[in-house]
Amino acid sequence: MNIGIIGAGTMGIGIAQVAATNGCKVWVYDANARQVETATLGLEKTLTKLVDKQKISGEKMTEILANISIATELKDFKDCELIIEAIIENKEIKTKVFTELENHVSETCIIGS
Ligand SMILES: NC(=O)c1ccc[n+]([C@@H]2O[C@H](COP(=O)([O-])OP(=O)(O)OC[C@H]3O[C@@H](n4cnc5c(N)ncnc54)[C@H](O)[C@@H]3O)[C@@H](O)[C@H]2O)c1
């Protein structure tokens, strides 16, 4: 499944990790581009710890990271079957994001919050 995640904070990158671990192709978008890089580096550290503890293999870590891509705009979610919003707790901003998002996704795409 192709999954889009909006917001690369605590929740967003955690959801990305779970989805990518389970074989989904994941695109992560954040209004703050540097946050996606920071979150990805944090995820690498988390996965490295799991490898060190022998919870996952090095190959699995590589596979998980390969499943995650950075989206630079909401248009990048056009092929997603599921999109999960995980941005700041602000109804007006969330509504604005959903309104824009609907211009870029298919009619069958499931959007979760
Ligand atoms: N952290 C938790 O334990 C937790 C638990 C349950 C629910 N939630 C909910 O999940 C959501 C995300 O929480 P979090 O803790 O991950 O927050 P966070 O502050 O760690 O991350 C939010 C991210 O959203 C980004 N963002 C803000 N506006 C945006 C926009 N318009 N478009 C794209 N990205 C935008 C920010 O740059 C930030 O990186 C919130 O609604 C929160 O209430 C959080």
pLDDT digits (tens, 9 = 90+) for 49-80: 999 999 999 999 999 999 999 999 999 999 99
What sign results for the dihedral spanned by CA atoms 90, 93, 95, 101? Answer: negative
For 64, 79, 101, the CA distances from 106, given in Å and listed in that order, are 26, 8, 10
Q: Which of 21, 25, 22 is nearest to 71 (CA)?
A: 25
* Cross-strand partners of 4: 27, 83
Give yes or no for residue 99 CB within 6 A of ligand 1. Answer: no
CATH 3.40.50.720 assigned to domain 2-112? The reply is: yes
Give yes or no for residue 9 CB within 6 A of ligand 1. Answer: yes
Q: 43 CA to middle of ligand 1, Å? A: 16
* pLDDT confidence tier of residue 2, bands split at 50, 70 and 90: very high
Instruction: Give the pLDDT score at 39.
Output: 97
Give yes or no for residue 113 CB within 6 A of ligand 1. Answer: no
Atom 11 in ligand 1: which residue has the minimum CA distance?
86
